[in-house]
Amino acid sequence: MPKKKQPEETPKKSNPNVMGLHAQVVDQEITDTLEVNFMPYAMSVIVSRAIPEIDGFKPAHRKLLYTMYKMGLLSGGRTKSANIVGQTMRLNPHGDAAIYETMVRLSKGYEALLTPFVDSKGNFGKVYSRDLSYAASRYTEAKLAPICGELFRDIDSDTVDFVDNYDSTMLEPTLLPTSFPNVLVSANTGIAVGMASNICSFNLEEVCRTEIEYLSDPECDIFATLTAPDFTTGGEVIYEADALREVYETGRGSIKLRARWRYDKKENLIEIYEIPYTTTAEAIMDKVEELVKTGKLREISDMRDETDLTGLKLTVDLKRGVDPDKLMAKLMKLTPLQDAFACNFNILIAGTPKVMGIREILSEWTAWREESVRRRVFADVTKKKERLHLLRGLGKILLDIDKAIAIIRETEEEREVVPNLMIGFGIDETQAEFVAEIKLRNINKEYILKRLEDIQKLEEDIADLEDVLKNRRRVRGIIKKELENVIKKYGQPRKTGIVYPHEILEPEESAREDDYPVSVFFSRGGYLKKILPQSLRMSGEQKFKEGDGLLTSFEARNSGELLVFTDRYQCYKTRLSEIPETKASALGAYLPTQLGMEEGENALFVCDPRDYAGSVLLLFENGKAARIALSAFETKTNRKKLTGAYSDKSPLAGFLPVYQDFEAAAYTSDGRCVVFSTVLLAPKTTRITQGVGVVTLKRGRTAVELKRLEDTHIKNVSRYRVRAVPAAGAILREEDREEQQLSLLGGEGDA
């Protein structure tokens, strides 16, 4: 029995808005929303925006270059960049700023590509500078670089497909028929939805040589001809065979890069003149400045950016007696002077993104290029056959030229000339049209003989071209010849050098340099002092701000970490080596500023986690205490802040690190004290645990302080000691109060 059709739900209408319009709200499954709305957007970004295709270009690159080609900028002079940008908007309607940024990246002046495609004039910025921005498009000029002749070779010979532009007013190519594997020569980066692409650049000559070898033997040794990536900023590639092999074979992996430098012994300075492609001069300067401020870099007296029209130059002034090789080894480790390029060879193949190794990329490019050459040859064959067809018709006429003249002369109407020639000589309409258009001056013996010779030449050419179409080896021979021509005309030496790991001076372990004892003092106001033992011995009384005082102190190692707990239930992590050293007479580092805390956030307690094997004991104002394992605060990554570091159900009243069990004293606002052993509290791995009751409080009373028993002035310990918690404790006697002890000490001192 058929199911009864359910009545359709009437869409709910929202209240009219201020414009008097009504919006309909329709219930829809989230999966349907993703499929209908999000997936088309994601696919558009992947296919039409961010991922390069086999010709090495994204759509934005292709539209810009093709516009410049149609403007005649391959052979003509430069024109204003604003003019080019405006013309490109006929193909790329995404705003002039986006188009100009694309043009900047392709330009010679920006130096992002080993083979720039835009011959630029004016300020186009620099890829190695974050702050040196390009001039506006109205001030700069550009044209196509000569190598673009290889991009548009035979583009009008049906080598690639053409499609309508966004408003169907003109055609644009889907790919550019590049005669060399530009996909490996030009560096390309793109972030799509759910995927990305990051292709490093290789030397043009090496890529072409590798492709030639591949055409001869698909199983050739790629490493023999394609040594390593090559970058416009120079520097050096650290040649790690296994890492490079992974990149070459899978299309994923990391390649280490390092800067190039020279030492001026006379001036005692280092000049850094080439840096990794992945960083900028400003990023290096900022990192060095940070290291100097935190005391990790004491060998440098000054560093300047002396980049000018001659190129990049970062100058480092050394202090007397500093070994430049050891300093640079240290800088390579601590700064972006040594960096890594994360490879992700994700390329669109027939509209589908695919991550490929070098050999697979060459295979795909070869197949695509073979098809382009075949299409070009087929177009040539078609044109020659059409020409041959016309000349054969002319040949028939030339056998009896007088008859042809008579037919034309005796025809009364012009429109009957072509049909009469077709009937008189048995030729088709196309041939008759061609004959009818011959000028009278060309009806001579020389013209006739030359045309007959053309027939023979065309027949030979057509036979040869048809053989090319049938013979794959001949097609590959054409590709090889074009690649050799590219090498001859545009080949350049490598810019990026190659260095092997065994040639690199390893820096001394920073842990050893930083691993020395320090004394740490933390005040109630949030100031932290890190003092060297020798400085502490020579110093006098600890200085604090008025109203402030010492909260805790401990011995630690400079290489160790420090946990800082705040009143916003957060924990900040830092290394003691990042805290500047000070003296007892100074206030020290103000932790909220030092650690970049939120506005109004205060540091409450600090802890040396050592090897994260112990725990921390937290006393809350509600009388509960939580013992949390330090391992709960350990992180695999270098996270600087942990939110939800402890329970937010009650404010924090006391804090103690527990490396081994001891007795602790908890004080309350009504003058009571409870002495208990930390053994009674089992460590928890959950940071936000509320703990268990330790002090039983009367209404309106709170816990106020937590101390180790050995740090208190309690004499009658048995009076306050409990065997189980929670407990109410006992009221402190005068002799057990700290204030009494302090007054007695003061009296002795006065006496």
Measured CA angle at 495 (ends 492, 497), to 5 deg: 130
Please list the residues that pair with 561 across neighbouring strands: 575
Q: Residues 165-175: pLDDT tens digits? A: 999 999 999 99
DSSP letter, residue 311: B
Tokens of 211: 């492709």
Give the pLDDT band (50/70/90) at residue 16. Answer: very low
Q: Residues 308-342: pLDDT tens digits? A: 888 999 999 998 888 999 999 999 999 999 999 99
Q: In the predicted model, is pLDDT for residue 510 greater than 80?
A: no
Q: Residues 662-707: pLDDT tens digits? A: 999 999 999 999 999 999 999 998 999 999 999 999 999 999 999 9
Residue type, 354: K
Mean pLDDT for the chain overall: 88
Compute φ and ψ for 535, nearest 5 degrees: -70, -35
CA torsion sign for 663, 666, 671, 672 is negative
Tokens of 649: 């159900």
Q: In the predicted model, is pLDDT for residue 644 greater than 50?
A: yes
Q: In the predicted model, is pLDDT for residue 647 greater than 70?
A: yes
Q: CB of 195 within 8 A of CB of 353?
A: yes
Domains present along the chain, CATH in parentheses? 57-177 (3.90.199.10), 260-336 (3.30.1360.40), 366-490 (1.10.268.10), 512-750 (2.120.10.90)
Mean pLDDT of 217-246: 95
Pairing state between β 236-238 and 497-499: parallel
Q: Residues 168-197: pLDDT tens digits? A: 999 999 999 999 999 999 999 988 888 899
The enclosing H or E element of 618 equals: strand 615-620
Least confident residue range of 192-206, 293-307, 558-572, 642-656: 293-307
Give the model's pLDDT for residue 12. 46
The enclosing H or E element of 242 equals: helix 241-250
Residue type, 714: I
Q: Residues 429-463: pLDDT tens digits? A: 888 888 888 777 777 767 777 777 888 889 999 99
CA distance 318 to 269: 6
Active site residues: 139
Q: Residues 377-387: pLDDT tens digits? A: 999 999 999 98
Give the model's pLDDT for residue 297. 85
Q: In the predicted model, is pLDDT for residue 6 greater than 50?
A: no
Give the model's pLDDT for residue 32. 79
Give the model's pLDDT for residue 33. 79
Give the model's pLDDT for residue 192. 84
Give the model's pLDDT for residue 412. 82
Give the model's pLDDT for residue 511. 43
Q: Is 11 buried (19+), middle (13-18) or exposed (0-12) by CB count in 10 A?
A: exposed
CA distance 34 to 672: 62
Give the model's pLDDT for residue 222. 95
CA torsion sign for 630, 634, 640, 644 is negative
CA distance 78 to 132: 23
Q: CB of 477 within 8 A of CB of 366?
A: no
Give the pLDDT band (50/70/90) at residue 295. Answer: confident
Give the model's pLDDT for residue 23. 54
Query: 88-101: b or e for each residue (b if 16 or more CB lie within 10 Å)?
Result: bebbbeeeeeebbe
* Terminal alpha carbon distance of the chain: 110
Q: Residues 340-350: pLDDT tens digits? A: 999 999 999 98
Compute φ and ψ for 302, nearest 5 degrees: -165, 155
Mean pLDDT of 123-140: 94
Give the model's pLDDT for residue 739. 60
**Predicted model pTM:** 0.68
Report the residue count for the chain.
Answer: 751
> Treating both helix axes as pointing N-terminal to C-terminal, what angle do 281-293 and 324-334 enclose, rounded to 10 degrees?
100
Mean pLDDT of 467-490: 95
Give the pLDDT band (50/70/90) at residue 250. Answer: very high
**Percentage of the chain lying above the pLDDT 70 cut:** 93
Closest CA to 259 of 274, 238, 271, 270: 274
Give the model's pLDDT for residue 638. 62
Q: Residues 370-409: pLDDT tens digits? A: 999 999 999 999 999 998 988 888 888 877 788 888 888 8
Residue type, 601: E
Mean pLDDT of 505-534: 80
Instruction: Round the CA-based radius of gyration of the chain to a whole number and report it.
Output: 40
Give the model's pLDDT for residue 20. 47
- Four-point Cα dihedral 53, 54, 57, 60, nearest 10: -30
Q: In the predicted model, is pLDDT for residue 712 greater than 70?
A: yes
Q: Residues 488-502: pLDDT tens digits? A: 999 999 999 999 998
Give the pLDDT band (50/70/90) at residue 641. Answer: confident
Give the model's pLDDT for residue 493. 95
Mean pLDDT of 24-43: 78
Give the model's pLDDT for residue 748. 37
Mean pLDDT of 630-638: 80
